[in-house]
Structure 1
Amino acid sequence: MLASTTFTVDGHQIVEYRGVVRGIVVRMPTISQGIVGGLKSIVGGHIEAYAQMCEQARGQAYDRMIEHAQQMGANAIVGMRYDASEVAEGATEVLCYGTAVVIEPGV
């Protein structure tokens, strides 16, 4: 499945729009990530434990978006974006979304 942040795919034409697709994940740091992150926040700098958690959440949200597009019969996603927001204290929602389309080689 091709996923692009652009609204066109070079060498292809969009022949059908299937609709908005999304993948949503809500994550909280594990106990160990929270402890390491809390200690690191005192000292400052890059917090690898949180970075790993965020990367995992983005990957899961992306995978769920791809599954949603496949269920809709799409073979590509255009206009893909990520968004994140805090939904509760310590819990972050990661949303990956775009427009599911059917593309064919062409113009």
Structure 2
Amino acid sequence: MAEPTSKPNLPKLIVTTGNEVQGHEIHEYLGIVRGIVVRAASISQGIRGAFKSILGGNVEAYAEVCEAARQDAFKRMAKQAREIGADAIIGMRYDATEFMQGATEVLAYGTAVTLTPHA
């Protein structure tokens, strides 16, 4: 599918946790968009994480896995919004669930909308 053309005076895609976009009116609600990723730690991350958990403190190896999953879920959500012609995603949220031992599902979701700049 071809990339939608940008409207004048609007960035390619605005993403906010709020329910409005300053300086713009919501023209149309396009629906919920989401990106889902299921991630598990690699063997080396698992070993580093297990060792660090014995010592205590921040488990950076696991934080790396979580951050990568959030980024991928966000990109998938944004891609879906662009494909349906959205200017913005409002009410954006993350959710995470342990899918099985050692694997976590990360969901990024929000409402895709089109915008009209205030006159």
Tell me the TM-score normalised to structure 1 length.
0.97
**Structure 1 moving runs of 4+ over 3 Å:** none
Partner of 2:104: 92
Aligned residue runs from structure 1 range 1-107, under 5 A: 1-106=13-118
1:12-58: CA deviations, max 9, x gaps?
A: 00000000000000000000000000000111001111111111110
What is the deviation of 1:89? 1.0
User: What is the SS of the residue equivalent to 2:75?
Assistant: helix
In structure 1, how many angstroms separate the alpha carbons of the residues matched to 2:15 and 2:34?
12
Identical amino acids, percent of aligned pairs: 57
In structure 1, how many angstroms separate the alpha carbons of the residues matched to 2:42 and 2:115?
41
Tell me the TM-score normalised to structure 2 length.
0.88
Task: Please provide the CA RMSD for this pair.
Answer: 0.8
Unaligned runs of 5+ in 2: 1-12
In structure 1, how many angstroms separate the alpha carbons of the residues matched to 2:70 and 2:112?
18
Q: How many residues align?
A: 107
Q: Letter of the aligned partner of 1:99 in structure 2?
A: T
Unaligned runs of 5+ in 1: none
